[in-house]
């Protein structure tokens, strides 16, 4: 997997994005608020820029209007010649790449925090590409230490040999924050407040880093995606069953071979036939029906994360 280099300079160009999916309301409402009252994103050494990502989808309160924006930040789309037939999200990805990138360039923003909601029972979930992203791993660890009442589980989303395709891949460093369960197009006060506090904690960590704080090495558990499982379907592709009651809402819980995972409309149970235990995540996520995903299979791994050294050119707080 491609790793991101550890920052050697303070992070000054920071963005917080919401509405990458236009019906995930916590990030949309927070970014709209910050566009009117940006002071909450101010820190002594930097000020984060709030950005609404998928404007057309937000206006329609839909996940997307043409294709999934969070899958379009790949070279095939970003470098291709623009066409009137391009889906809106491809055009918007190029615009965001110019605003926050360009991707893999020295001119790109130093960091982006992309805000998401899910209908699945994942709680507080931090998504990064790979465990080789040392800065992101330290940030996740900091959030775990600051929020002991929240699991703050970490998912490694990128698979070996796969090009990074999400919005957070455009900048030099970045993570996605996923909170659930929350229905599409609905705003829950508890998740709104929780996301707001987590954003503040992320910005506080960047400020600590900018001021020259060193962070020691540690051991971290994370969930690495190894596969997906689709719903049982008819020959015509329609659903033939649904997630089993014993699996529903059991995100990040151990799933053993032989355990029920689906309940057919005809009444019988479908059992998990994997060769090893896994930890399912994003169980019964509404947006993944069209993608043929009932849940992701992950493995829980433990990583040794090296220390994040103090900057030698740390920022000096202003008066």
- Catalytic site positions: 178
DSSP 225-279: EEEEEPPPB-TTS-BSEEE-TTTTT-TTS-B-TT-EEEEETTS-EEE---SS-BE
Other Cβ atoms closer than 10 A to 3: 11
Within 8 A by CB and 6+ apart from 316, the residues are none
How far is it, in rounded angstroms, from Cα 101 to Cα 149? Answer: 35
Within 8 A by CB and 6+ apart from 273, the residues are 257
Question: Is 244 annotated as ligand-binding?
Answer: no
Answer whether 22's CB lies under 8 Å from 28's CB.
yes
Nearest to 284 by CA among 237, 229, 236, 224: 229
Question: Is 162 annotated as ligand-binding?
Answer: no
Question: Is 40 annotated as ligand-binding?
Answer: no
Residue positions forming the annotated binding site for Zn(2+): 21, 24, 116
Residue positions forming the annotated binding site: 21, 24, 116
């Amino acid at each position: 997997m491609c790793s991101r280099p550890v920052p050697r300079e303070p992070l000054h160009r920071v963005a917080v994005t919401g509405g990458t999916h236009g019906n995930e309301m916590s990030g949309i409402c927070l970014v709209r608020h910050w566009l009117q009252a940006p002071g909450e994103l101010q820190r002594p050494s930097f000020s984060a820029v709030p950005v609404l990502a998928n404007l057309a989808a937000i206006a329609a309160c839909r996940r997307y209007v043409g294709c999934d924006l969070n899958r379009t930040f790949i070279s095939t789309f970003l470098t291709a010649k623009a066409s009137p037939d391009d889906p809106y999200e491809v055009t918007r990805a190029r615009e965001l790449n110019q605003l926050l990138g360009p991707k893999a360039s020295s001119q790109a923003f130093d960091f982006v925090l992309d805000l998401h909601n899910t209908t699945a029972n994942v709680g507080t979930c931090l998504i990064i590409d790979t465990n080789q992203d040392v800065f992101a791993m330290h940030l996740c660890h900091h959030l775990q230490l600051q929020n002991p009442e929240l699991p703050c589980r970490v998912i490694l989303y990128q698979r070996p040999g796969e090009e990074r395709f999400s919005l957070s891949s455009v900048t030099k460093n970045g993570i996605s924050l996923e909170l659930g369960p929350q229905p599409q197009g609905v705003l829950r006060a508890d998740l709104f407040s929780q996301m707001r506090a987590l954003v503040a904690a992320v910005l506080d960590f960047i400020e600590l880093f900018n001021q020259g704080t060193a962070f020691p090495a540690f051991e971290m558990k994370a969930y690495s995606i190894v596969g997906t499982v689709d719903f049982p379907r008819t020959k015509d592709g329609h659903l033939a069953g649904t997630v089993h009651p014993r699996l529903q809402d059991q995100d990040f819980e151990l799933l053993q071979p032989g355990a029920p995972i689906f309940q057919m409309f005809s009444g019988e149970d479908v059992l998990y036939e994997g060769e090893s235990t896994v930890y399912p995540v994003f169980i019964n996520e509404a947006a993944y029906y069209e993608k043929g995903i009932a849940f992701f299979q992950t493995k829980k791994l433990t990583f040794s994360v090296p220390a994040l050294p103090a900057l030698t050119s740390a920022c000096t707080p202003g008066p």
